[in-house]
Amino acid sequence: MTELDRRTFIQRAGVLSVLACLPPAVVAQIISRTPPHSPFDASSTAEEVTAGLDLAGKTYAITGANSGLGLETMRVLAMRGAHVIGIARTMDKAEQACASVKGQTTPAFLDLGDFESVVNCAGMIRAMNIPLDALVCNAGIMALPERELVYGMEKQFVVNHLGHFILINQLMETVMSAPQGRFVILSSRAHQRAPEDGIQFDDLAFEKQEYGSWTAYGHSKLANALCSLELARRLSGTSTTSNSVHPGVINTNLGRHMPWYMRWAGTLLGWAFMKNIEEGAATQTYVATNPALVGVNGYYFVDCNPDPGGTPQMQDEAMARRLWLVSEELTRDYLPAAPAIPA
């Protein structure tokens, strides 16, 4: 038996062992690969979607854990007994966030726009020698008013997609070593603002077109969703899954680059159409933890339920595969020497 055959055998044996511990109704749902309809909706909070769960013995890593949705997700997971690795842009921010949360937390830091720092952060997490039950790719930047370049590419694409792409690959084996590891990647309904033809493979710097802050942000969020879709395909047949989520429209510091009048409107009128932080963190917390989602792979979740997405590009498997391959080329110097999953 080859090394790959042994790995496949072990992974599938792990899936069977997980299934054997679940109620028949849940097993039937998993085999159908269709997510169960959850009782939760846009008004549900992260505490509500995890009510009754005992996460003791589990470890989760969250980027952007120092504020907003990331901080609330960390707080609730720790409250349910999990060990949470709270990742922020600086160690000071990570330490302050972790200190503000009751429960077991470990601070870590990275700058998603600095690929070397992403590799270093992943190395620190791997050195803990513990499985990751989920990696929640929560951090991001939104609607930069002026075009900025990092590594010769538009900054939102680099930070929101490529930085997380490196982290995912660096921690692939760590997540796959958990009994049912999960990748949870934050996308957004703003993916609908991406260019009509999808990922701009020939213009990742947005030089050949007029720069639009929301177009570029939507482009990065489409990349997040497609990354999750292709990752799910590559994980097929293992006990590990990948799903993307839209958290909702929330008034967080992610909107710090928005025009003053939009921030003002959000503060004054947001109660009528925006979620609060507790509600905004619900979907990613649900997808990262809910036992009914064991084996559910390759979906896009909105309000704790699967959603088809707003554009055909969201389900474009060829575009997703091309994005993965292009991302590998762009970040080759920062990826593990040998991929943890086959192409």
Active site (catalytic) residues: 211
Q: Using CA atoms, how far apart are residues 276 and 274, in angstroms rounded to an integer?
A: 7
For residue 41, give every residue at least 6 positions away whose Cβ sits within 8 Å of its Cβ, in sequence order, or none: 303, 304, 305
Three-class SS state of 51:
coil
Question: What is the token pair recorded at 52?
Answer: 């009754």
CB-based contact 242:231 (threshold 8 Å): yes
Phi, psi values for residue 88, rounded to 5°: -130, 180
Q: Beta strand pairing status for 149-150 and 83-88?
A: unpaired
Q: Using CA atoms, how far apart are residues 248 and 270, in angstroms rounded to an integer?
A: 12
CB-based contact 278:75 (threshold 8 Å): no
CB-based contact 331:112 (threshold 8 Å): no
